[in-house]
Amino acid sequence: MFTHLHLHTQFSLLDGACRLGELVSRAKELGMTSLAVTDHGNMYGAVDFYRECKKQGIKPIIGCEVYVAPRSRYDKDKTLDSKYNHLVLLVKNETGYKNLIKMVSLSYTEGFYFKPRIDRDLLEKYSDGLVCLSACLAGEIPQFLLQRDYEGAKSAALWYESVFGKGNYFLELQNHGIEQEQIVLDGIKRLSRDTDIPLVATNDVHYVNKEDADIQQVLICIATNHILGEDTGLEFHSDNFYLKSEEEMLSLFCDVPEAVENTAKVADMCNFDFEFGNTKLPYFATPDNMNHFEYFKMKCFEGMKKRYGENPPEAYVKRLNYELETVDKMGYTDYYLIVWDFVNFAKSRGIPVGPGRGSGAGSIAAYCIGITDIDPMKYDLIFERFLNPERVSMPDFDIDFCYERRQEVIDYVTEKYGADHVAQIVTFGTLQTRAAIRDVGRVMGMPYNQVDAVAKLIPNDFHITIDAAIKKSSRLRAAM
């Protein structure tokens, strides 16, 4: 059974046009049993892709199409290092996943230059547990072949095989009807014969259906600030970058059917599952190795006296004991202590800290220990909105620090708990309907006043979709 092993979702930002639900549904409709994700230089969509595949009964394969620096990832000379090669890496197991996320992280923190880049040094260190494919026309092997340097391509292919191990490196065949690919196809087949490195057939999927090619081109024009028809430098010169069926792939590579069959072998090699629901917190060191819960309890009751006096109301004591019991039972004692630790650090250095926001303000334990400064008893706030014993989910304190000095808090946490235990998260913004219309109108070369007039016909409702706007606005329907 053919498996797509080279695929870009909407998380290949303003490049991939595959929405996850539609993508996985189409794969299932085509009778496929597995599917890979290989977004450009990032793994933003890995978990969402995994969940969607599992929901629809498709085996998810986690991967990434990384950018490889021509020299070292530390080299950033405009003349020598502005170009880079593509390489597809697929996760076989947990070791491979850890190695891939390590490389992708380092590509941003150490190798970023035009794109997030890894290098051969990282590949040698973190190759275990990964399957490697030679990638598209932008891959190192295809680039050697396009330069008519067969020996260079052969040397590079043998190096990759030596790094990943026999059976873990494949020469990738692609055929989207592009002239350059014909040169590369012949060269890669010859390489496979000469080196005994196996072939694998892929389609460089950027959109779900063939007719979506125009939509993908609009995305590229938005990303590059061009108008449709202009040379963006990212032209695909083909409308074949869609989710092809097994029959289409067998027809394209009828002379090397083993390349199509090998996709199933790769899929069988890749067996990684995310572990959800198991919280892994860094270690919190208590004074004199005191029991963590006892220390937490002691700090809470000390704080209760500071907040409410020597004889706090019995209902308050009862509420605190209930919260302590719940926190202990659900295993979040260290979470409270860690948050208290960095909030306490900020306050001790005179860094302004917000009084509390969100459901965390409903915890009297948080108020007593000094994480929040809002009395939940005074305002009848509900603890269960923050931590509910009937719904096992990680609690989340929203803490606001002064934006001018918050880096000091981040540095403190990183130094105390280790850089390998601290991460900053990313958020994704999506274009609202009016903004999307304005962007699409711009890349179509329409006059601004004409586009703006259409955009203003969209009802000013939060998160309204195009379809909903058409139903709601008679003026928009008339304009259409």
Return the pLDDT at 267: 98
Q: Is residue 15 part of a domain?
A: no
Is residue 473 located within the same domain as residue 405?
no
Residue 70 CA, distance from chain mean position: 25
Question: Per-residue confidence at 339, pLDDT binned at 50, 70, 90?
Answer: very high
Question: Per-residue confidence at 156, pLDDT binned at 50, 70, 90?
Answer: very high
Q: What is the CATH number of the domain that holds 74?
A: 3.20.20.140
Question: Per-residue confidence at 168, pLDDT binned at 50, 70, 90?
Answer: very high
Q: What is the DSSP string of 449-462?
A: HHHHHHHTTS---T
Q: Is residue 280 part of a domain?
A: no
The total number of structural domains that make up the chain:
3
Is residue 350 located within the same domain as residue 319?
yes
Cα 412 to Cα 406: distance, rounded to the nearest angstrom: 10
- Output DSSP code: residue 372: -
Is residue 237 located within the same domain as residue 329?
no
Using CA atoms, how far residue 450 sits from 434, 438, 442, in Å, is 13, 10, 10
Is residue 260 located within the same domain as residue 382?
no
* Side-chain-facing half-sphere of 58: CA atoms under 13 Å: 30
Side chain identity at 135, as an amino acid letter? A
Q: By three-state DSSP, how is residue 276 classified?
A: coil
Return the pLDDT at 251: 97
- Output DSSP code: residue 283: P
CB 353 within 8 A of CB 401: yes
Cα 344 to Cα 335: distance, rounded to the nearest angstrom: 14
Is residue 472 located within the same domain as residue 330?
no
Percent of the chain with pLDDT over 90: 87
Helix (H) or strand (E) holding 409: helix 406-417
Is residue 212 located within the same domain as residue 331?
no
Q: What is the CATH number of the domain that holds 471?
A: 1.10.10.1600
Is residue 442 located within the same domain as residue 391?
no
Q: What is the CA radius of gyration of the chain?
A: 27
Return the pLDDT at 320: 97
Question: Per-residue confidence at 234, pLDDT binned at 50, 70, 90?
Answer: confident
Is residue 308 located within the same domain as residue 330?
yes
Question: Per-residue confidence at 408, pLDDT binned at 50, 70, 90?
Answer: very high
- Nearest to 129, CA basis, from 301, 337, 271: 271
Q: Is residue 178 part of a domain?
A: yes
Cα 287 to Cα 283: distance, rounded to the nearest angstrom: 13
**Of 396, 419, 442, the domain-final residue:** 419
Is residue 330 located within the same domain as residue 376?
yes
Is residue 411 located within the same domain as residue 437?
no
Cα 204 to Cα 133: distance, rounded to the nearest angstrom: 12
Checking if the pLDDT of 71 tops 90, the result is yes
Digit-coded pLDDT (tens) for 180-196: 999 999 999 999 999 99
Cα 393 to Cα 284: distance, rounded to the nearest angstrom: 21
Checking if the pLDDT of 231 tops 90, the result is no
Q: By three-state DSSP, how is residue 22 classified?
A: helix
Q: Is residue 471 part of a domain?
A: yes
Using CA atoms, how far residue 54 sits from 32, 36, 110, in Å, is 13, 12, 34
Residue 289 gets the label, from left (phi > 0), alpha (psi -120 to 50) or beta, of left
Lowest model confidence (mean pLDDT) among 28-42, 96-110, 227-241, 250-264: 227-241
Checking if the pLDDT of 458 tops 90, the result is yes
Is residue 169 located within the same domain as residue 218?
yes
Cα 259 to Cα 249: distance, rounded to the nearest angstrom: 10
Query: Which residues fall within 8 angstroms of residue 449, CB to CB, at 6 or more apart?
Result: none
**Span 376-388, average pLDDT:** 94
User: Cα dihedral sign for 38, 73, 224, 457?
Assistant: positive
Q: Is residue 14 part of a domain?
A: no
Query: Which residues fall within 8 angstroms of residue 118, CB to CB, at 6 or more apart?
Result: 66, 67, 68, 69, 73, 103, 104, 106, 107, 111
Return the pLDDT at 229: 86
**Of 219, 241, 269, the domain-final residue:** 269
Q: Is residue 198 part of a domain?
A: yes
Is residue 335 located within the same domain as residue 437?
no
**Of 242, 269, 296, the domain-final residue:** 269
Cα 237 to Cα 220: distance, rounded to the nearest angstrom: 13
Task: Give residue for tokens 């590509």.
Answer: 107
Q: Is residue 73 part of a domain?
A: yes
Cα 452 to Cα 440: distance, rounded to the nearest angstrom: 11
Main-chain dihedrals φ then ψ at residue 311, nearest 5 degrees: -125, 75
Using CA atoms, how far residue 311 sits from 137, 171, 368, in Å, is 75, 75, 14
- Output DSSP code: residue 119: -
Range of the domain at 400: 287-419
Return the pLDDT at 393: 76
Q: Is residue 400 part of a domain?
A: yes
**Span 141-170, average pLDDT:** 97
Higher pLDDT, 353 or 427: 353
Q: What is the DSSP string of 129-178?
A: TEEEE--STTBHHHHHHHTT-HHHHHHHHHHHHHHH-TTSEEEEE--SS-
Question: Per-residue confidence at 248, pLDDT binned at 50, 70, 90?
Answer: very high
Task: Give residue for tokens 């109301």.
Answer: 313
Digit-coded pLDDT (tens) for 77-116: 999 999 999 999 999 999 999 999 999 999 999 999 999 9
